[in-house]
Amino acid sequence: MVKANTTPEIDMSIQSWLFNTQTVLQFPLTIIIVLSLIVTGTFVEIAPRKSLEFMDNTIGTIVFFTVPLILALSLDWATGLLAAVVSLIVFTRLKKIDVDEGFVDSSDEGGASDTKIVSNPHRWFVEKMLGEHPVAISSDRVITRAVEEDANRKSSGISTSTNASSSVFSNFNSSSSNK
Amino acid sequence: MEWEALTPTSNLDGLLRLIITFFLLGWNVFEGLSLRTPYPSTMVALWESPVWRSVILLTIWLGAEWCPRVGAMSALAGLMYIVNMIQI
């Protein structure tokens, strides 16, 4: 009696190898990608904008729309949807400018903070009109400087008048702060 | 997305899908897409927690795995909430 050979024939083609690899790795790959997307979406809000600026261009925008499509086609629809949501969250984060970026008010000499408590109960006209009740003021003086180039060329009389105008400004500020 | 995912497995499953889909639809209409309606203070306070943000994203994925309609509605609701919180 001859036994029949029951061993199935193994398909050694590249196509079947790719299919087997995708089948075996699809579940762990989905889990890893979903966890990565959740971590990205969770912490992108507190990430500094400078670390995301490399995506703030045309290529980055293309990536935002391409990655969800690739994930939806290769893995499943739910992962693609999550990727689309995370992409839009990152896109929104890129459009928001950090508070510490941009113009820094360093009008005071030396850059030191010169915030003063407003102790005068009388308010300015503008404050009354706008309904503002300030409790502190960051800068209560205007610093002016004469143009040095002109001062070197012209006579000392003009320079003296320039200094006089500066002193008038400072007198005005000191008197206005004591209103 | 397969067509089988749109078909409920039982009557209870179908009822739950219908309720959650319409709840999220109403939420998006009256809360998410309306700029005049502020989010509840609890949700605003919870935004600082990373766990809360992770739960929202995980809910979107699980909702989409369960039912595509629920996934679409939860994705819209979650996206509106997160974008509003980031913009604030």
pLDDT digits (tens, 9 = 90+) for A49-64: 788 888 888 888 898 8
The dihedral region occupied by A25, where left means phi > 0, alpha psi between -120 and 50, and beta the remainder, is alpha
**A150/A170 Cα distance (integer angstroms):** 22
Instruction: Kindly state whether residues A115 and A84 are assigned to the same domain.
Output: no
Instruction: Kindly state whether residues A89 and A150 are assigned to the same domain.
Output: no
Specify if A131 maps to a domain. Answer: yes
Specify if A26 maps to a domain. Answer: yes
Residue A19, SS3? helix
Q: For residue B63, what pLDDT band results from cuts at 50, 70 and 90?
A: very high
pLDDT at A3: 57
CA A148 to chain centre: 39
Specify if A9 maps to a domain. Answer: no
Residues 79-118 of A with CB under 8 A from B: 79, 81-82, 84-86, 88-89, 92-93, 96
pLDDT at A167 over 50: no
Q: For residue A32, what pLDDT band results from cuts at 50, 70 and 90?
A: very high
Cα-only R_g, chain B: 14
**B78/B87 Cα distance (integer angstroms):** 14
pLDDT at B41 over 60: yes
Print the domain residue range for A65.
15-95
Q: Where are the domains of chain B?
A: 8-87
Number of separate domains in chain A: 2
**A115/A137 Cα distance (integer angstroms):** 6
Considering only alpha carbons, which residue of chain A is nearest residue B70? A78
Q: Does B45 touch chain A (CB under 8 A)?
A: no
Residue A117, SS3? strand
- Average pLDDT score over residue span A13-25: 80
Range scoring the smallest mean pLDDT among A38-47, A80-89, A105-114, B21-30: A105-114
pTM higher than 0.80 for the full model?
Answer: no
Instruction: Kindly state whether residues A115 and A87 are assigned to the same domain.
Output: no
Instruction: Kindly state whether residues A165 and A125 are assigned to the same domain.
Output: yes
pLDDT at A128: 81
Instruction: Kindly state whether residues A31 and A61 are assigned to the same domain.
Output: yes
pLDDT at A113: 58
Distance between terminal CA atoms of chain B?
35
Instruction: Kindly state whether residues A84 and A39 are assigned to the same domain.
Output: yes
Residues of B in contact with A85 (CB under 8 A): 57, 60, 75, 78-79, 82
Specify if A44 maps to a domain. Answer: yes
What type of residue is A29? L
Instruction: Kindly state whether residues A89 and A151 are assigned to the same domain.
Output: no
Taking CA A23 as the corner, what is the angle to CA A17 and CA A25, rounded to the nearest 5 degrees? 100
Specify if A102 maps to a domain. Answer: no
Q: In chain A, pLDDT over 90 holds for what percent of residues?
A: 17
Helix (H) or strand (E) holding A116: strand A116-117
Which of A46, A63, A95 is a domain's end point? Answer: A95
The dihedral region occupied by A131, where left means phi > 0, alpha psi between -120 and 50, and beta the remainder, is left
Specify if A106 maps to a domain. Answer: no
Instruction: Kindly state whether residues A25 and A84 are assigned to the same domain.
Output: yes
Instruction: Kindly state whether residues A84 and A130 are assigned to the same domain.
Output: no
Instruction: Kindly state whether residues A124 and A76 are assigned to the same domain.
Output: no
**A88/B15 Cα distance (integer angstroms):** 31
Instruction: Kindly state whether residues A57 and A115 are assigned to the same domain.
Output: no
Nearest to B54 by CA among A81, A34, A78: A34
- Average pLDDT score over residue span A163-170: 47
